[in-house]
Amino acid sequence: MISENKSNNPTPAIQVKDLTASYGPVPALLDISVSIPSGKLVGVIGPNGSGKSTLIKAILGFIKPDVGSVEIFGKDVALAKGKVAYVPQRGAVDWDFPITVREVATMGRYGHRHWWRDLTRDDYRHADEALEKVRMSEFKKRQIGQLSGGQQQRVFMARALAQDAEILLLDEPFAGVDAATESAILDVLEETRQEGKTLVVVHHDLSTAAEYFDLLVLLKQRLFGFGPPSVVLNPRLLCDVYEGNMKVFAELAEKK
């Protein structure tokens, strides 16, 4: 396993310690330990079924580890309410649900209010600013099922941004979107990182991983690499993880 990571912040945004997580008798992650510093844009890469989405769910507290722990800013993930926002895969959303773009964005504000209290003008302002940031303001009255795949992805990014969390977790935000939407999403990620937020993004395209991310987590059930792209995108390591010599690995080797 390759690892190279240095941070001046003694308390990482996310600390995963000796994590093993399973679905029934089948382990999805084995003995994962990784420390993600604040203010970084981090990509999670690996082949299909390697545990990428499981890692995101463990950080969210959606699944209980068999062994190990997850801490958010030094505290157990169970105590991290409001600090972590999530953008799911598009396939996990019911796009026929009768809700508008603006209503989706305002859902990000519910955690700031008791259930018996209405949203305030300030909540709606946060939601509208988030829609503006992802370039979806002109669609705010449209039902989400009437949007393109890329537009839908941006709406759920707006919901996460409206939450005003310190950590954003995104599961395959670039999957199935066109080049213009990918560029728009990347702009939002970079702007959010510049605001001091920490972003962890499940990503499948190795050819853009070095360009998009400060740090990479390479998974295949176990942790095979963590650090800058120049360290993790090692052609020999990638061949071991992906069990094959793909064209992109040869291109990476030529750049070294």
Closest alpha carbon to 201 in 187, 215, 180, 222 = 215
Q: Judging by DSSP bridges, how do beta strands 41-45 and 198-202 pair with one another?
A: parallel
Closest alpha carbon to 218 in 50, 23, 100 = 50
Answer whether 139's CB lies under 8 Å from 151's CB: yes
Answer whether 218's CB lies under 8 Å from 224's CB: yes
- The H-assigned helical ranges of the chain are 52-60, 101-106, 121-133, 149-162, 179-194, 206-212, 229-232, 235-242, 247-255
**Per-residue confidence (pLDDT) for residue 254, from 0 to 100:** 54
CA distance 182 to 78: 33
Closest alpha carbon to 13 in 34, 43, 31 = 34
Each residue's pLDDT expressed in tens, for the chain with a length of 256 residues: 655 554 454 789 999 999 999 988 888 999 999 999 999 999 999 999 999 999 999 999 999 899 999 999 999 988 888 899 999 886 666 777 889 999 999 998 887 665 556 788 889 999 999 999 999 999 999 998 898 888 888 898 999 999 989 999 999 998 888 888 888 899 999 999 999 999 999 999 998 999 999 999 999 999 999 999 999 998 888 988 987 655 555 555 555 5
CA distance 227 to 130: 30
Q: Which residues contact 235 (CB under 8 A, 6 or more apart)?
A: 249, 250, 252, 253, 256
Q: Which residues contact 143 (CB under 8 A, 6 or more apart)?
A: 98, 99, 100, 101
67 burial level (CB within 10 Å; 0-12, 13-18, 19+)? middle
